[in-house]
Amino acid sequence: MTTRDRLWRLAPPVFPERPAGQCCAWQGTLTPNQVRAAQAIQHAHTAGRGILVWAVTGAGKTEMTFPVVTAALAAGGLVAYASPRIDVCNELFPRIQTAFPTISTGLRHGREEQPYMGEQLIVCTTHQLLRFYHAFSLIIVDEVDAFPMHNSRLLHAAVAQALQPGTAPVYLTATPDAHLRHQLRRGQLAVAYLPRRFHGAPLPVPRLHWCRQHTLTTGFQPLQRLVRCHRSARRPVMLFVPTVPLLTALTVWLSSRFPAETVVSVHADDPERVAKVQAFRDGRITLLVTTTILERGVTIPHLQVIVWAADHEHFQTNALVQVAGRAGRAADDPWGRVDFFYHRYTLAIARARREIRQMNRRGGFR
């Protein structure tokens, strides 16, 4: 783009009002905690005030937003579910389509090149909001603290610019960053807490395994035994590592020791990332080695989680909490297991375990 180029601003489409019953087809039932959070969201939205929904991983945050989304759509508003992560958008989109089958919906991110086609409900990355100006009556930002939105003034400004005057965003996360916590302390955001998962079971607290420094790159027998235990129970395994070189090394190591398993690796620059994640969901991949790119936005039933080199600087507290939250999300199997392998017991590991225990206590567990 140069100074000779012109930018055109088009008025957003106008949608008719309709009965709320014609918008949402979701037949589920919210728990009492979810109902209270949903009411808080609606109250804040009606008042034009921003709200943070601070809910544990697997709490059912998306379903809690359905009442306010239904009200906005029924009033003829344009609505966006936005997230900094493409994987979160890809996970959300089919769920939103199913919940709102009579509403025109669209998916927009850097790997979806189709332009905005006038849909009333879009799921998009936060970067896509830069294309809109005072268009949305409601924007819900899922995983608001995730990279690249974390500490990004540009993307926070994009959300504010895309909203209609007098409205404010709904933020969803299990791990609010320092900026969001500062806004809470100053009373700039309302807050709704949800410290319990929708199925009522506690968050899995990571188990710790100390190992020698050199084994972090050459393989370790306790890891082999743990993976064998999970796979003997026919449970999928997601193994998180901090760097791409370590990802490559461990993928080769695991493939040699588990030749009967389908061992695949994935990282941020992998062009087949979406296809590999879908294959993992479908059960065609049984052991997935990944970087923190999949710390959010991926829900796999019966998943068991392992973090290798959990003491690496790439694994900060929020990342470890989110990674641990991938396990135990299924209502019929809420007792997932999380294991951290480390050499140095870091502050991030200690804080992650403490935050998980604190949320469990707040949810009524000892």
Q: Looking at the domain that runs over 20-194, which CATH code has it been given? A: 3.40.50.300
Q: What is the pLDDT of residue 153?
A: 93
Q: What is the pLDDT of residue 219?
A: 57
Listed by start position, the domains of the chain span 20-194, 207-362
Q: Along the 366 residues of the chain, how does pLDDT read in single tens digits?
A: 788 888 878 788 889 999 988 899 999 999 999 999 999 999 999 999 999 999 999 999 999 999 999 999 999 999 999 999 998 999 999 999 999 999 999 999 988 777 889 999 999 999 999 999 999 999 999 999 998 998 899 999 999 999 999 999 999 999 999 999 999 999 999 999 999 999 989 999 999 999 887 566 555 788 999 999 999 999 999 999 999 999 999 999 999 999 999 999 999 899 999 899 999 999 999 999 999 999 987 889 999 999 999 999 999 999 999 999 999 998 888 989 999 999 999 999 999 999 999 999 998 887
Q: What is the pLDDT of residue 5?
A: 86
Q: What is the pLDDT of residue 217?
A: 59
SS (H, E, C) the chain: CCCCCCCCCCCCCCCCCCCHHHCCCCCCCCCHHHHHHHHHHHHHHHCCCCEEEEECCCCCHHHHCHHHHHHHHHCCCCEEEEECCHHHHHHHHHHHHHHCCCCCEEEECCCCCCCCCCCCEEEEEHHHHHHCCCCECEEEEECCCCCCCCCCHHHHHHHHHHECCCCCCEEEECCCCHHHHHHHHCCCCEEEEECCCCCCCCCCCCEEEECCCCHHHHCCHHHHHHHHHHHHCCCCEEEECCCHHHHHHHHHHHHHHCCCCCEEEECCCCCCHHHHHHHHHHCCCCEEEECHHHCCCCCCCCCEEEEECCCCCCCCHHHHHHHHCCCCCECCECCCCEEEEECCCCHHHHHHHHHHHHHHHHCCCC
At the topology level of CATH, where does 207-362 sit?
A: Rossmann fold (3.40.50)
Write down the pTM of the prediction: 0.90
Q: What is the pLDDT of residue 11?
A: 80
Check if 20-194 and 207-362 are the same fold. Answer: yes
Q: What is the pLDDT of residue 207?
A: 98
